[in-house]
Amino acid sequence: MADYYDILGVSRSATSDEIKRAYRKKARRLHPDVAGPDSADEFKEVTAAYEVLSNEEKRRLYDMGGEQAVRNGGAPGGFGGSFQDIFDTFFGGATAARGPVPRGRRGQDALVPVEIELRDAVFGLDTDITIETAVRCSTCDGTCSRDGRAPETCTACGGTGSVRKVTNSFLGQVMSTTSCGVCQGHGTVITDPCLDCAGEGRVRAQQTLNVRIPAGIEDGMRIRMAGKGEVGPAGGPQGDLFIEVHVADHPQFTRHGDDLVCELEIPMTAAALGTTMTIESFDGPEEITIEPGTSAGVSLRVRGRGVGRLHRADRGDLVINLHVVTPTKLSSRERELLRELAEIRGETAPEGSLVSDSPSVFSRFRDRFL
Task: Give residue-wise pLDDT tens across range 234-279.
Answer: 889 999 999 999 999 999 999 999 999 999 999 998 999 999 999 9
According to CATH, the superfamily of the domain at 250-326 is Urease metallochaperone UreE, N-terminal domain (2.60.260.20)
Check whether 194 is labelled as a binding-site residue. Answer: yes
**Of 222, 213, 212, which Cα lies nearest the Cα of 243?**
222
Q: Which of 42-46, 165-169, 246-250, 323-327 has the highest mean pLDDT?
A: 246-250
Check whether 262 is labelled as a binding-site residue. Answer: no
Check whether 157 is labelled as a binding-site residue. Answer: yes
Query: CA 100 → CA 27, 47, 215, 237, distances in Å?
Result: 26, 20, 48, 19
Q: Give the C-alpha separation, 241 to 201, whole Å.
A: 20
Task: Give residue-wise pLDDT tens across range 199-235.
Answer: 889 999 999 999 999 999 999 999 999 999 999 998 8
Residue 235: what pLDDT? 83
Q: How confident is the model at residue 32 (pLDDT cuts 50, 70, 90)?
A: low
Cα-to-chain-centroid distance, residue 48: 34
CATH topology of domain 1-74: Helix Hairpins (1.10.287)
Quick one: which H or E segment has residue 247? strand 241-247
Average per-residue pLDDT for the chain: 81
CA angle 62, 64, 70 (to 5 degrees): 35
Residue 267: what pLDDT? 92
Task: Give residue-wise pLDDT tens across range 329-360.
Answer: 889 998 898 888 888 888 765 444 444 444 44
Check whether 140 is labelled as a binding-site residue. Answer: yes
Q: Give the C-alpha separation, 359 to 312, whole Å.
A: 53
Query: Residue ranges of the domains in the chain?
Result: 1-74, 250-326, 329-370
Residue 103: what pLDDT? 84
